[in-house]
Chain A
Amino acid sequence: GAVVSQHPSWVICKSGTSVKIECRSLDFQATTMFWYRQFPKQSLMLMATSNEGSKATYEQGVEKDKFLINHASLTLSTLTVTSAHPEDSSFYICSARHGEGNYEQYFGPGTRLTVT
């Protein structure tokens, strides 16, 4: 159990376009989902935390108008990278957490974004 999927697994887009990444918890309800970004040979960097039905909480330095997060249901969160630039090229990983009492984060397989 506790499977998280991401779609797409990789995407190439042109500068100035927008890309949407989906994160789904397949066999549990995720009250909280997290979005991370990871550059090569670096650790995970938390971008934002989203709770179902409320606005996401962004980490310092992450532009909320550029990285739009929607957590519309207990099994789906989306991250939209708007007006993408080459420096946005990275590995984007989501994770999901059960409700109270279980704080383990279950990670999706990640989405590799390349902006040309």
Chain B
Amino acid sequence: GQNIDQPTEMTATEGAIVQINCTYQTSGFNGLFWYQQHAGEAPTFLSYNVLDGLEEKGRFSSFLSRSKGYSYLLLKELQMKDSASYLCAAMDSNYQLIWGAGTKLIIKP
């Protein structure tokens, strides 16, 4: 079956760095997405990885290892506004997104 695993909740301190891990098992693979979702709002796109390695975009970076079925989202210089849920989604061979349950990130001052 197809499955995405990510931690349910994480807590970090303002100004620090946090890494949110995601492992996936899909029928075929066409890339890994990370989305941010604030409470009561729709998800917003953060990153897309299809090749192995690290993609950096400002304070956010995303890493992919296809051989390990593993990705992480790295958030640096955490700000209070980064408190949100972070959704990992893998695209299968039919170009459908398989969604994780999301990781709720709590930022403390």
Contact = CB atoms under 8 A, between A and B. Distances in A.
Q: How large is the interface on B (under 10, 10 to 19, 20 to 34, 35 or more residues)?
A: 20 to 34
Contact of A107 (B31, B42, B91): B42
Given A103-B31, A104-B33, A46 B99 contact: yes
Interface residues of A, number: 16
Given A42-B101, A43-B102, A107 B44 contact: yes
A77 interface: no
A109 interface: yes
Interface in B69-109: 87, 91, 95-97, 99-102
Nearest to B88: A43
B88 to A, nearest CB: 10
Given A44-B99, A46-B99, A49-B96, A106 B45 contact: yes
A108 to B, nearest CB: 6
